[in-house]
Amino acid sequence: MQIIPAIDIIDGKCVRLTQGDYSQQTTYHEQPLEVAKQFEAAGLRRLHLVDLDGARQKAVKNWKVLEAIAANTSLEIDFGGGINSQEDVQLVFDSGARWATVGSIAVKNEAELEKWLLHFGAEKFMLGADVKEKKIAIHGWMETTAISVFDFIGQYSRKGIQQLFCTDVSKDGKLEGPSTVLYKEILERFPSLWFIASGGVSSLDDLYRLKEIGCRGAIVGKAIYENRISLEELKQFAEDVN
């Protein structure tokens, strides 16, 4: 199971929100590149980079942060937040992302996303399923839809999406443990999916539980910034499970 540290960006700075609430914002570092370099030095190979300004304004805003991290580390980066046009996708790839993360567009404009999948290749995209009570939430979690997470995953796995991360909004940023029951149900229904857990990870025990149920990756954010899990412990976990 891969450990994927998260960097969320507002105004070019490394921040975290609680439950996607922009009014509950904590700034952890002025220089995201320095944070990314620490992750790389700890032996981590991937990075989940989120443009929260982009998510709110519905257009990619913090691509310069992506560009700097991609140019100065060897981390494989997935980038999301504000990707709403083919030009946005191109900008993200030109700036050094390995994968473009899409969520809201998959709900709001399926036809447009299908064009991107055909143009760039479905393997270049990571689907983000943000969930409130098993229903998909979009636009930085500010809007909850009536779409079941299971229908959503099934729809896009049939279109060639292989990699998906799921965030239970009720858990995110609260350090209360991940939604293992929900994730287990998803994995039972979609056993071939490259499934990445996101939200709520607060300890190494959480990571071992996610590995046990079959998660292929886990995104870890606040637990690192709040020193609940050290980078040394993450490095050791990665060595133990791989």
Let me know the angle formed at the C-alpha of 232 by 38 and 41, rounded to the nearest 5 degrees: 30
pLDDT in the model for residue 19: 65
Under 8 Å between Cβ of 1 and 215? yes
Let me know the angle formed at the C-alpha of 123 by 121 and 124, rounded to the nearest 5 degrees: 75
pLDDT in the model for residue 101: 96
pLDDT in the model for residue 169: 80
pLDDT in the model for residue 177: 84
User: For the domain bounded by 2-241, which CATH number is listed?
Assistant: 3.20.20.70
pLDDT in the model for residue 173: 60
Mean pLDDT by 10 residues, the chain (242 residues): 96 83 83 97 96 91 97 98 95 98 92 97 96 84 86 96 90 75 95 94 94 96 92 89 75
- Chain centre to alpha carbon of residue 48: 5
Q: Give the domain ranges of the chain.
A: 2-241
Looking at the annotation, which residues are catalytic?
Answer: 8, 130
> In whole angstroms, what is the distance from residue 203 CA to residue 142 CA?
28
Using alpha carbons, select from 24, 41, 6 the residue that is nearest to residue 200: 6
